[in-house]
């Protein structure tokens, strides 16, 4: 690829990664936990969750479809840029993708971190991973790739629309007698309260939830959390989805639509925490439940990615680039999410 005067040579979608078979589970979890002291029993417990699904997380396949969808949109409307994906914890790893991009002649790319709401673990850590990967590939003798990032998009109309349509589809699966009374329960990955205090995560989640609920014309909704990890004594964002369901059943909850707005792809945390654990709680309590899909490759979400790309591209043409390394408010990571 020959370098042109265009402001970017490519788009890089940056994601968490996920195993693609039973043999990948423990190596993947070791990547997730690198540098952290987590009891072996906890690791094995999470590994068992993955084994229920044969170690196959749908995240990578969905991310590839998101990239393909974005590539097609850009082919239709421009700018016509190649789209790459790089994962933090599994193949294709960020380092390998950056080397591939460099070998293709790319020197400057637009980075889109596939997390709508901002926290250290959902956004800041990925930027650090990119910085580390750039250092690593240069040390190994490969060319550097500049990465510039899009701004926030947790209330982008396309992201909201994709969630709304998935929620309506899930609601239609409920028995007609309870459909109109079903509570909309938004979920996101819990993080330590000390981390939440120092970043926009809760604010962004609530703004996403309010925007979706407003489009649906409902005030019967609540934001809860899932996938808590870390030391049991440390305070994390609450309530937990399963605790919430049990408590609200006592208060008259009759039906639920659960929407994982804190994730942009269905993956094993969603499949286990919601489709397995929360579904079992609802069945035990007699609460009809439907789970909305994450935005995945919904056309409106692909439109969101394209709009972010085109907007940043046109701003860059006029010399208004975001910094190469965007700085997140300082956040301390006290306990990692163990499965995503």
Q: Mind listing the pLDDT tens digit for each residue in 45-59?
A: 999 999 999 999 999
Tell me what pLDDT residue 321 has.
Answer: 60
Q: What integer is the mean pLDDT of 248-255?
A: 98
pLDDT over 70 for what percent of the chain?
92
pLDDT digits (tens, 9 = 90+) for 263-310: 999 999 999 999 999 999 999 999 999 999 999 999 999 999 999 999
User: Among the listed ranges 28-37, 94-103, 316-325, which one has the minimum average pLDDT value?
Assistant: 316-325
Set out the domains of the chain in order of their start, with CATH numbers: 10-153+298-317 (3.40.50.1400), 157-291 (3.40.50.1400)
User: Using the 8-state DSSP alphabet, how is residue 262 labeled?
Assistant: T
Cβ contact 83:67 at 8 Å: yes
Q: What is the pTM of this model?
A: 0.92
Statement: residue 137 has pLDDT above 60: yes
pLDDT digits (tens, 9 = 90+) for 178-202: 999 999 999 999 999 999 998 999 9
Query: Measured between alpha carbons, how far is 14 from 94 in angstroms, rounded to an integer?
Result: 8
| Helix (H) / strand (E) containing 15 | strand 10-15
Among 165, 271, 284, which Cα is nearest to 226's? 271
Confidence band (pLDDT; 50, 70, 90) for 330? very low
Confidence band (pLDDT; 50, 70, 90) for 319? confident
Among 28, 14, 99, 97, which Cα is nearest to 63's? 14
The tokens describing 292, both together, are 């909305």
Question: What is the radius of gyration, based on Cα positions, of the chain?
Answer: 20
Q: List all residues 6 or more positions away from 83 whose beta carbon is below 8 Å from its beta carbon.
A: 10, 11, 12, 13, 67, 68, 70, 71, 74
> The sheet that has 10-15: what strands, in order across it?
83-87, 10-15, 108-113, 146-149
């Amino acid at each position: 690829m020959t370098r042109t005067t265009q402001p970017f040579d490519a788009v890089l979608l940056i994601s968490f990664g996920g195993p693609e078979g039973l043999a990948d589970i423990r190596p993947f979890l070791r990547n997730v936990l690198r540098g952290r002291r987590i009891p072996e029993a906890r690791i094995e417990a999470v590994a068992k969750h993955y084994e229920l699904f044969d170690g196959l997380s749908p995240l990578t396949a969905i991310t590839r479809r998101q990239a393909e969808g974005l590539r097609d949109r850009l082919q239709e409307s421009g700018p016509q840029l190649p789209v790459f994906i790089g994962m933090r914890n599994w193949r294709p790893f960020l380092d390998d993708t950056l080397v591939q991009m460099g070998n293709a002649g790319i020197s400057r790319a637009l980075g889109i971190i596939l997390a709508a709401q901002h926290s250290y673990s959902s956004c800041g850590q990925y930027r650090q991973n990119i910085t580390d990967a750039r250092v690593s590939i240069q040390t190994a003798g490969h060319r550097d790739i500049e990465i510039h990032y899009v701004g926030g998009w947790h209330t982008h109309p396309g992201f909201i629309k994709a969630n709304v349509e998935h929620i309506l589809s899930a609601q239609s699966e409920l028995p007609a007698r309870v459909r109109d009374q079903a509570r909309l329960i938004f979920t996101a990955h819990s993080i330590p309260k000390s981390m939440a205090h120092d970043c926009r995560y809760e604010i962004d989640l609530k703004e996403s939830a309010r925007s979706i609920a407003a489009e649906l014309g409902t005030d019967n909704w609540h934001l809860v959390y899932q996938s808590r990890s870390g030391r049991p004594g440390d305070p994390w964002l609450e309530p937990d989805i399963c605790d919430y369901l049990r408590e609200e059943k006592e208060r008259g909850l009759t039906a639920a639509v659960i929407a994982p707005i804190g994730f942009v792809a269905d993956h094993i945390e969603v499949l286990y925490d919601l489709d397995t654990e929360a579904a079992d709680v609802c069945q035990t309590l007699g609460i009809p439940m439907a789970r909305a899909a994450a935005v995945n490759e919904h056309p409106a979400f692909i439109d969101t990615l394209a709009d972010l790309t085109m907007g940043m591209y046109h701003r860059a043409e006029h010399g208004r680039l975001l910094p190469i390394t965007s700085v997140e408010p300082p956040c301390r990571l006290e306990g990692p999410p163990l499965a995503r």
